[in-house]
Amino acid sequence: MLGLAAAAVVAIGVQVVALRWEQPHIASEYINLFHADRLASGEGLYTDPGPGTWSFPVYFPGLYALLAPLTWITGPDQIWLERLAALIALIGVCGLSARTALRLSGSRIAATVSGLGLLGFVPVAHLVGVVRPDVFALVFAAGALAAVTRWEDEREPRWLIYTALFCAAMVLTRQVYAPIAGALILAVLIRDPRAGLRTLATSVGATLAVLALTELASGGSFSADIRAFTDLVRLSSLTELIESQLWPPNPLYLIGALGCAAGFARGMTLRAVHLAWLGGAICCLAAVKVGSSGNYLLPLMWASAILGGPALELARARMSRPAFGIASVAVGLLLISPAHYAIERARAVSDLTASLNRSQDEAAERLAAIDGPVLGDRFDLALAAGRVPDFEALLLSQLELTGVRTPTELARAVHRQRFEGIQASFDLFATTPSYQGLSFWPPSVVAAARAAYCERWQGDFVWLYRPCRS
């Protein structure tokens, strides 16, 4: 419990401290806020991804609908309220997980382990509290699992209504969580086929109704946007992600897997949580998409944590006190390592943020002073400078590298110096095997920038270029 408590304190502490950071944890944070603000302002969320479109939303509408009221309050250039909402959602996931574990085991100790278990995974401290769909979808998943678990014990129809609606909200917020929704509905089908079919019809019907309305409102652009991003698949992305995120090792992965295997082996004791673990494992396969990070492992971490508490409680009941004490110490020591690793990373980010704030403020002032259009990959800097961001470099780069789409018109505009300034998060003029500026911007746009622009100013992780004047 000591190691788990330490990891939990670190995870929550990082999220609380992050509320005051103006810098994006990841590039997509302010991109998501920008699109949510468009929705809050009554503008079209999904647009035709034609030659003149350099940024478009890649998620289902649920995320933007959740963020729209918050951006309406603070505007797209303030992020603290959205991060606070993500923190509240994270606490909600922990609370619902503990409630589910308590129902499964009847032990408050098991409930505590399951509730805090998710916070013991290293990526959680750095990826869950960011403004992206994962934690919001995960709280819907936790709500659906809590509802279907209660239905398994009580068989009250109202819990299936909650399950269906939570599953629909989960998929509409994060489409790759569909395997979890399918697993939970399968748990109902196994016990009561007729009730399972009603739950399936309700959930799928609600999801398709929202997507159909979105497609009609966007004039067909919604499906075009989603297809363009879905095509970005690379098998090595999955293997690289697993290799980078499974260290330091967390014993809850193994405990969760063993708990799931035990549920399937016993047959009659198979519960929705066991199928949810399997659904979470299937979700990891979505990491074949280019640009994947540790967030794709979150469903598996969550399900492993829920199974971990009851599994440890079962071990305590069946093992001798000395043997269980030794096992508990071993698990605790293994959990202290991820906590220490998370602390070191959080400290490094905190130190870096202080210098970044000063540099980014100067960069925003320089962008605001440029008279004319500016092409930049930082949505937060563009918003701080009073400009409208419209260029998502990483997404367009992958579209070009995979042959899905080539930003020919944009490259031509850069070559003709149609922009009075270019802002980049990588030095477009310095590319080495260990520093791949080209991997962030579309290669054709980089080539055009090198031919027509010169370096004028460099800050911390930001470069500004002006046209070369002969």
From the number of C-beta atoms within 10 Å of its C-beta (0-12, 13-18, 19+), residue 67 rates as buried
pLDDT digit string, tens, across residues 279-294:
999 988 876 665 556 6
pTM of the predicted structure, to 2 decimals: 0.84
pLDDT digit string, tens, across residues 138-151:
999 999 999 999 99
318: number of Cβ within 10 Å:
9
In this prediction, residues 84-103 reach a mean pLDDT of 91
Assess contact for 301 and 121: CB atoms under 8 A: yes
> 77: pLDDT confidence band, cut at 50, 70 and 90?
confident
Assess contact for 234 and 67: CB atoms under 8 A: no
> 68: pLDDT confidence band, cut at 50, 70 and 90?
very high
Q: Which residue has the tokens 């540099």?
A: 359
Q: DSSP letter at 455?
A: E
pLDDT digit string, tens, across residues 428-449:
887 554 554 545 788 888 888 8
Give dist(CA 187, CA 247) in Å, integer. 32
Alpha-carbon distances of 348 from 14, 44, 356, rounded to whole Å: 12, 39, 12
From the number of C-beta atoms within 10 Å of its C-beta (0-12, 13-18, 19+), residue 407 rates as buried
Name, in order, each residue with C-beta under 8 angstroms of 338's C-beta and a sequence gap of 6 or more: 7, 120, 121, 122, 248, 250
Q: Is the dihedral of CA 121, 123, 128, 133 positive or negative?
A: negative
Report whether pLDDT(231) > 60: no
